[in-house]
Amino acid sequence: MAAASEPVDSGALWGPARPEPPPTRFHRVHGDNIRVDPSGTRATRVESFAHGVCFSREPLAPGQVFLVEIEEKELGWCGHLRLGLTALDPAGLAPVPEFSLPDLVNLGHTWVFAITRHHNRVPREGRPEAEAAAPSRPPTLLVEPYLRIEQFRIPRDRLVGRSRPGLYSHLLDQLYELNVLPPTARRSRLGVLFCPRPDGTADMHIIINGEDMGPSARGLPAAQPLYAVVDVFASTKSVRLVQLEYGLPSLQTLCRLVIQRSMVHRLAIDGLHLPKELKDFCKYE
């Protein structure tokens, strides 16, 4: 893992000088109502609306995105997923607080927010508050392959949610790409990361379907281990982790992108003379 205070060249990709971080997994320590699957990549709240706090198994590397997709929703509850970072070691939390907000935050060294689109953009000191009112949507949202967040470039491909293959999936996919659906809609993808600054602190950013919401918190201790926090709260019932490729894309990913871009509709992939495993990978990933 790269040192938190190590400067990174603007726009630099992950490579030999910056090895890719390991795949993300959920921590063995979590809320009482959470069940994590054997792979450590899916967390489900099995009852009630609370006790759903989860953590990353390892501290995040600078620029590493802890990315989750909302898999299941549950009607009858008010509230949605909460996301953030903590400098507290999850292994030392006994018991895990019932709520991330306010319980975990009140323990200190924790920055968590309910997911909305314009809830927490923080202006730089000396800059007008209007600058932080809403994130700017880049004109190249649908064509730029990388999302730029401060000194990092993150492959955009898997940051955006996708609908399940169906008759109208090509239309629904466009709504995810344009980020016009509610941010906590089923199959939305939400991520959190931190970006170190020259003064030894870090900014926390939240990503919603490939769009950077801007700095959500400033002054995080970049030299300390920072764990991701996911609160599977209320109407959000189940989430799964989505893995990113930070360096050069794999041959599998390149093949998937070529096939997807050649198809008007994802259901047309079924008609290709390809192995079923590859067709499923192209339809669902």
Structural domain spans, the chain? 26-120+141-245, 250-284
pLDDT reported for residue 178: 81
Q: Which residues of the chain have pLDDT under 50?
A: 1-12, 130-131, 133-134, 136, 138-142
Query: Does 2.60.120.920 match the CATH number of domain 26-120+141-245?
Result: yes
The whole-number pLDDT of residue 107 equals 97
Q: What is the DSSP string of the chain?
A: ---TT----TTBPPBTTBPPPPPP-B-S---TTEEE-TTS-EEEE-SSSS--EEEBSSPPPTT--EEEEEEEE-TT-----EEEEESS-GGG-SSPPS-IIIIIHHTSSEEEEE--SSS-PPPPTTS-GGGGSSPPPPTTTTT-SEEEETTEEEE-GGGS--PPSSTTHHHHHHHHHHT-S-TTSTT-EEEEEEEE-TTSEEEEEEEETTEEEEEEEEEEETTS--EEEEE--TTEEEEEEE----SSPPHHHHHHHHHHHH-SSGGGGGGSSS-HHHHHHHHH-
What pLDDT is stored for residue 99 in this prediction? 97
